[in-house]
Amino acid sequence: MHDPLTLYKLIVLYMLERVDFPITKAQISDFILGKEYTNFLTLGQVIGELTDAGLVTAQSIRNRTHLAITNEGKETLNFFENQINDSIKADIDAFFRENEIHLRNEVSILSDYYKSTSGEFEAHLVAKEKGVNLVDITISVPSEETASSICDNWQKKNQEIYQYLIGQLF
């Protein structure tokens, strides 16, 4: 392939096509930078261009950017996938086989907070599995620091909290 940016774009599209859940920009970066395919700035440019072209959607949730391939991205990948080296495809497939549970868990536990119309802060906590919300909780608290702390702790303790709720409610 003559244009390395095109190859990097195809790699990102291939990665997004291989999973049935959104993955974060950081997760893609970990793989691509770990394999030393390119550098951080170039990868940022690639993801920006894919998003601008409508081949990828980006959704910011708190401090993470979740990426997903669009139908146009899938069509583009189908047309040009043969331009990705088989060894790169094998590396990507191995990466997902080895890390799928961890990657899925990272994007299945969501938390964010915002200031409500009443002036309090609301922490919104979600745990998903296969696109279905298992838990969706909103907690009102008086300060931004408390809301932020709740979100951080949800990331660490969501399984314990879910098990506690199920134990108490059933």
Q: What is the pLDDT of residues 3-46, one digit of tens each?
A: 888 999 999 999 999 988 778 898 999 999 999 999 999 999 99
What does the pLDDT look like over 111-136, one tens digit per residue?
889 999 999 999 999 888 766 788 89
Q: Is 80's pLDDT higher than 60?
A: yes
- The per-residue pLDDT for 47 is 94
| pLDDT score, position 72 | 96
Residue 100 pLDDT greater than 70, yes or no: yes
> In this model, does residue 1 exceed pLDDT 60?
no
Q: Residue 25 is encoded by which pair of tokens?
A: 């920009």
What's the structural domain count of the chain? 2
Q: Mark whether 43 and 71 lie in a shared domain.
A: yes
pLDDT of residue 2: 60
Quick one: 88 and 35 in the same domain? yes
Residue 101 has pLDDT above 80, yes or no: no
Which residue segment(s) compose the domain that 154 sits in? Answer: 108-169
Same domain (yes/no): 38, 93: yes
Q: What confidence score (pLDDT) does residue 76 get?
A: 95
Average pLDDT, the chain: 89
Do 66 and 137 sit in the same domain of this protein? no
The domain that contains 38 carries what CATH number?
1.10.10.10
102 and 114 within one domain: no
